Chains A and B, each alone.
Chain A
């Protein structure tokens, strides 16, 4: 990841700006936050375009083909492509190899059913025209229906049936220690599941069961928290290590210089604020 000296300075500045949030909300953080929002919104749009729309939509409508061999409808269809090429040359490229003209993108098989996807996508854009904006609901409906159908099976299979299958353990394995462990696990799953009964009042013996369930859930939450602490600290170490790297001579002492400047500015701005508050 060689980003040059200018890159290193910007990276260090942005890193320190975000870290300055820990002190308080300040100009540096606000600036970094807004730059971040701007850059990332454009980044994801760019990625979606070049990694999704271009190869998967246009690439499926017009896979690369040798123009001279086309006939009938396809000839007309690639004619449209040519028009698009004339307007947006970068997105709809044409190649000429040894005098043979190729039009189209990539080598996926042609699939004109993607015209429906294109249509649904365009419906989304109708939002900009209030009168026919409601058509976008059709696209939303497609997305929601797809999500419901896809996830229903996925979760039922792996999270419900799969986990039940994994929990079918012998209560007695022939060895005391592992038997106890299995029983601990099974009691946990059953009582934890019971905690999620909504239509039964949790009282008396049932309350005890759901209480045991909560304890198990809490052990799980504690453990996840512990693991997360570990992962998060590792990340911070990585960031600090980069900052130490960029304080070297080959990057023009970016870290120490920027750090000092930022501290000075922060101290000055907070000092200026305080008298105002006193008045």
Chain B
């Protein structure tokens, strides 16, 4: 009881109060507490991710093992999971030829590099000039050559290195470090990110355009005064912000007393005043709600999320 319920309650209260006070005490060690405290949280959350991953595998794995309905899809989820982990922790890519010395046959090397790094299928004088400027007298650590490839494996890099070395240049194998590979160029991980992750999340996001349309068709009905206000304000913003709105109400500009009815003008006013008022009221309310909830949590009045005995 004490270890399972009282100690957590004490931790919540103590950490809460210390964090709150740290806002008012710039002196060390309180001053930088915010940075470290959130980082500790990130670390705990990172550990917890293992639990999440195991739970996901258990969830989808049971379906596969028990051959439940739709198990092939679960298998796909598991495979996708391990493919990404493989490229995150085992196979990296991101190799590059590192030019250390141009050798005696400089021009041929420049042309070769221009061909390798070219992005649009035709190597022009300008491309070669660029290469000439950038790769003349390479520094001691060498100058990396960024190949025009989605992913550069060790094999691919070595092939290019051999080609360049055959021209008399001195080229070595360079690679991105582990850790840098999740954001770096030409790694398998980035390829997975851009091939799978980006289109999937961007398309899920884009589905919203359709849902917004169907929601407005279905729900934007003049049922009562409130719904009418919502609808009118929505329409004014939608039309007022695009050239179409200005175009549709351009005629009002010729009549002085009507000039206020230019859609972009109405839209701007609505946004600056009534909308801002509504937004502030909501924000203040939410702010107080959060203050109240946080206080209740710190005081231990709310503790259901910590579980029972």
A residues contacting B by CB (< 8 A) are 1-4, 6-7, 10-12, 14-15, 18-19, 21-22, 30-57, 90-91, 93, 111, 113-114, 116-118, 120-122, 124-125, 127-128, 134, 137-153, 155-156, 158-160, 163-164, 166-167, 181, 184-189, 191-193, 195-196, 213-223, 225-230, 232-233, 235-236, 238-239, 242
Closest 9 CB pairs of A and B: A188-B277, A192-B281, A149-B19, A220-B278, A226-B237, A222-B233, A38-B80, A159-B287, A145-B15
With A56-B43, A145-B16 known as contacts, the answer to whether A218 contacts B226 (CB < 8 A) is yes
B224 to chain A, nearest CB (A): 10
A95 to chain B, nearest CB (A): 10
Identify which of B95-103, B126-134, B163-171, B209-217 touches chain A: B209-217
Partner of A192, one of B14, B149, B150, B282: B282
With A156-B291, A219-B229 known as contacts, the answer to whether A226 contacts B4 (CB < 8 A) is no
B199 at interface by CB-CB < 8 Å: yes
Q: Cα distance A267–B79 when bound, in Å?
A: 28
Q: Cα distance A158–B189 when bound, in Å?
A: 39
B206 surroundings in chain A (CB, below 8 A): 232, 235-236, 238-239
B196 at interface by CB-CB < 8 Å: yes
The reply to whether B48 and A18 contact each other, CB–CB distance below 8 Å, is no
A141 surroundings in chain B (CB, below 8 A): 7-9, 11-12, 15, 306
Interface of chain A, main secondary structure: helix
The reply to whether B286 and A3 contact each other, CB–CB distance below 8 Å, is no
B residues contacting A by CB (< 8 A) are 3-4, 7-9, 11-20, 22-23, 34, 36-54, 56, 60, 70, 73-74, 76-85, 88-89, 119, 148-151, 177-179, 181-182, 189, 191-210, 212, 216, 225-227, 229-238, 241-242, 269-288, 290-291, 293-295, 297-298, 305-307
Residue on B nearest A150 in the bound complex, by CB: B19
The reply to whether B194 and A189 contact each other, CB–CB distance below 8 Å, is no
21 pairs, A vs B, C-beta closer than 8 Å: A4-B150, A38-B78, A42-B82, A46-B182, A47-B182, A114-B43, A121-B44, A140-B305, A142-B41, A146-B40, A149-B22, A152-B294, A155-B290, A216-B274, A216-B277, A222-B232, A223-B233, A229-B238, A238-B202, A239-B202, A239-B206
The reply to whether B17 and A149 contact each other, CB–CB distance below 8 Å, is yes
Interface centre among A33, A166, A225, A230 (most CB of B within 10 A): A225
The number of residue pairs between A and B whose CB atoms lie closer than 8 Å in the complex comes to: 423
Partner of B150, one of A3, A18, A50, A221: A3
The reply to whether A121 and B212 contact each other, CB–CB distance below 8 Å, is no
The reply to whether A192 and B205 contact each other, CB–CB distance below 8 Å, is no
B266 to chain A, nearest CB (A): 12
B205 surroundings in chain A (CB, below 8 A): 232, 235
The reply to whether A222 and B237 contact each other, CB–CB distance below 8 Å, is yes
The reply to whether B56 and A31 contact each other, CB–CB distance below 8 Å, is no
Partner of B212, one of A51, A144, A229: A229
The reply to whether B52 and A41 contact each other, CB–CB distance below 8 Å, is yes
B88 surroundings in chain A (CB, below 8 A): 42-43, 45-46, 49-50
Residue on B nearest A29 in the bound complex, by CB: B73
B206 to chain A, nearest CB (A): 4
With A22-B207, A155-B286, A155-B287 known as contacts, the answer to whether A39 contacts B83 (CB < 8 A) is yes
Interface centre among B79, B203, B233, B237 (most CB of A within 10 A): B203
Q: Cα distance A91–B85 when bound, in Å?
A: 14
The reply to whether A46 and B40 contact each other, CB–CB distance below 8 Å, is no
B43 surroundings in chain A (CB, below 8 A): 52-53, 56-57, 114, 117-118, 120-121
Partner of B280, one of A2, A46, A54, A163: A163
The reply to whether B19 and A145 contact each other, CB–CB distance below 8 Å, is yes
The reply to whether B199 and A14 contact each other, CB–CB distance below 8 Å, is yes
The reply to whether A146 and B306 contact each other, CB–CB distance below 8 Å, is no
